[in-house]
C-alpha cells in the first residue's frame, strides 16, 4: 500500500491527522543518521519487552507511514518494514519482523558484532514509544474508518477462505450421523432388561438403546445440514470471485449480505437444468431443516399449530408467504438420510463442469485475490484443472515465502 499525500485526504481527515500527530509527541521520525555508527547499530538492534504491547502492525503502519508520512525502510531479511524513530533524541526502530511487530533498540557498543539485551533506559523509552503510538492510534480512528472504506472499493483485497474448516464441520456431523444410523440398525431389536427387588416385590424395566441412538442420529443429521448451508454461504462467494462475478470488495460485501438464493445464483447458473434441479431441492431442504432449527423449531413443513376439527387434530402450517400465510398442505418432509444424500449429490455436481478447477483452489484454504480477477489470472487458471494445479503450486510458494519473509 502506498502513502497518501495531503491532497488525497478529505478536509476532516486532515484535521484527524493533525490530532494524531500531536498525540504522538514526543515521538518523531528519526531523520538522517547523526553519525556513521547509527546505520550499523540499528541493523544490530534487539527486541524490547515493552514493544510487545504495540497495537496491530497494520494500524501502526497506516498511522506512521500512510497518515503521518514517516520515512521507512523496506524489506530486509525476515523483516517486512522498519520505521526509524527518535524519542529524547535517541534512535529506535519500529519493525515488523517474522516474529511480530516490536520496538527495537540499537546496539550502543560501537564495536558490537551482534545484537544484545536492551538497557533499562531503552526499555523505559520503549514503554513511552508504545504509549505515544497507542494514543495516536486512538486519535486516528476516523482515518482508519475512512481508509477501510477506500480499500473496500478497490481490488487490492484478499477474500479470506474458511471453506476447508466449514466443510470439515459438515463431514464430521455427516460421519457421526452415518455411524449412529448404522449402530441403530445393528441394535434396533436390542432390549436391556433390569429387574429390581423392592419390599413390595420385584420390578422389571426395559430400556431400548436404539431409541437414544435414533435421536442422536437425527440431531447429527440436522447439524450436518446446518453445517452444509454455512459452508455454501461461504464457498459460493469464492466461486463468484474465481469466475469473475464478484470483482471488488464492494461486490463481495454485497454478496455476503445477500440471501442464500442470491449467493447460489452468484456461483452457479440456474438456467442450467442440473443446477436448477439442485437449487430447488436445496431451497426446500433449507426451508424445512435449517430454517426449522433457526426460527423457533416449529415443524419441518412449518406446522406451528393444530387445528381442532371434526376430523381430529389437523396440522396448520405457516407458509412464509405474504398472500397465503397458512395452509393445511405442504411439501413432504425430508427424511434425514434423504437430506444427506441430496447434499452429497449437490457437492458432486458443484465440483463438476466449469467449476471443477475451483475445487482444488478452494480446498487449499488460500484466499481469493480480487486483483487476479481483473488481470485475467483466474480466467486462465479456471480454464482447466491442470492450469489450476500449476497456478496453485506457484501461488502457494509465494504465500509460503511471504509468511517466512523470504524476500
Summarize pLDDT for 262-290 with one digit per residue, the tens: 999 999 999 999 999 999 999 988 877 65
In this prediction, residues 38-45 reach a mean pLDDT of 75
Note whether 388 and 358 are within 8 A (CB).
yes
Average pLDDT, the chain: 85
Residue 318, pLDDT score: 53
Is the pLDDT reported for residue 315 higher than 80? Answer: no
Q: For the residues 8-22, what does the mean pLDDT come to?
A: 91
More confident residue, 346 or 285: 346
pLDDT at 320 over 60: no
Q: What residue has cell string 513511552?
A: 128
> Which ranges constitute the DSSP H helices of 44-162?
57-61, 120-139, 141-152
All three cell numbers of 377: 489470472
Rounded to whole angstroms, the Cα distance separating 49 from 32 reads 26
| Phi, psi of 315, rounded to the nearest 5 degrees | -65, 130
Alpha-helix runs per DSSP H in 64-140: 120-139
Minimum mean pLDDT among 57-66, 156-165, 306-315, 337-346: which range? 306-315
Instruction: Give the number of other CB atoms < 10 A from CB of residue 306.
Output: 11
- Higher-confidence residue of 57 and 205: namely 57
Mean pLDDT of the region 240-267: 94
> Residues 353, 382, 171, 227: is their CA dihedral positive or negative?
negative
**Cα 149 from Cα 129, distance rounded (Å):** 29
Query: Which of the residue ranges 183-192, 198-207, 233-242 has the most confident prediction, judged by mean pLDDT?
Result: 233-242
Amino acid at each position: 500500500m502506498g502513502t497518501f499525500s495531503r491532497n488525497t485526504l478529505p478536509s476532516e481527515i486532515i484535521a484527524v491527522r493533525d490530532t494524531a500527530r500531536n498525540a504522538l509527541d514526543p515521538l518523531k521520525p528519526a531523520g538522517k543518521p547523526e553519525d556513521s555508527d547509527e546505520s550499523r547499530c540499528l541493523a544490530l538492534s534487539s527486541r524490547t519487552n515493552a514493544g510487545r504491547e504495540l497495537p496491530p502492525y497494520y494500524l501502526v503502519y497506516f498511522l506512521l507511514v500512510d497518515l503521518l508520512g514517516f520515512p521507512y525502510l523496506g524489506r530486509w531479511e525476515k523483516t517486512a518494514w522498519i520505521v526509524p524513530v527518535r524519542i529524547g533524541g535517541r534512535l529506535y526502530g519500529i519493525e515488523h519482523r517474522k516474529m511480530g511487530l516490536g520496538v527495537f533498540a540499537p546496539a550502543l557498543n560501537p564495536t558490537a558484532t551482534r545484537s544484545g539485551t536492551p538497557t533499562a533506559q531503552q526499555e523505559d523509552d520503549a514503554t513511552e514509544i508504545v504509549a505515544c503510538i497507542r494514543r495516536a492510534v486512538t486519535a486516528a480512528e476516523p482515518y482508519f474508518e475512512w481508509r477501510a472504506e477506500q480499500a473496500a472499493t478497490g481490488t487490492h483485497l484478499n477474500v479470506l477462505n474458511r471453506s476447508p474448516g466449514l466443510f470439515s464441520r459438515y463431514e464430521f456431523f455427516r460421519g457421526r450421523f452415518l455411524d449412529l444410523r448404522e449402530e441403530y440398525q445393528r441394535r434396533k431389536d436390542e432390549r436391556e432388561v433390569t429387574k429390581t427387588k423392592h419390599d413390595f416385590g420385584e420390578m422389571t424395566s426395559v430400556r431400548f438403546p436404539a431409541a437414544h441412538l435414533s435421536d442422536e442420529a437425527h440431531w447429527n443429521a440436522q447439524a450436518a445440514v446446518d453445517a452444509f448451508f454455512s459452508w455454501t454461504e461461504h464457498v459460493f462467494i469464492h466461486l463468484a470471485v474465481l469466475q469473475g462475478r464478484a470483482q471488488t470488495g464492494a461486490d463481495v460485501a454485497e454478496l455476503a449480505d445477500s440471501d442464500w438464493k442470491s449467493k447460489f445464483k452468484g456461483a452457479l447458473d440456474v438456467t442450467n437444468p442440473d443446477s436448477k434441479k439442485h437449487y430447488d431441492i436445496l431451497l426446500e431442504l433449507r426451508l424445512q431443516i435449517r430454517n426449522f432449527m433457526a426460527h423457533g423449531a416449529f415443524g419441518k413443513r412449518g406446522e406451528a399449530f393444530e387445528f381442532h376439527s371434526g376430523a381430529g387434530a389437523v396440522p396448520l402450517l405457516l407458509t412464509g408467504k405474504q398472500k397465503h400465510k397458512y395452509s393445511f398442505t405442504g411439501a413432504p418432509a425430508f427424511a434425514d438420510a434423504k437430506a444427506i444424500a441430496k447434499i452429497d449429490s449437490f457437492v458432486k455436481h458443484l465440483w463438476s463442469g466449469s467449476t471443477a478447477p475451483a475445487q482444488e483452489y478452494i480446498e487449499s484454504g488460500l484466499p481469493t485475490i480480487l486483483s487476479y480477477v481483473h488481470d485475467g489470472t483466474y480466467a486462465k487458471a479456471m480454464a482447466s484443472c491442470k492450469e489450476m494445479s500449476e497456478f496453485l503450486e506457484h501461488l502457494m510458494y509465494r504465500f509460503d515465502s511471504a509468511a517466512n519473509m523470504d524476500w
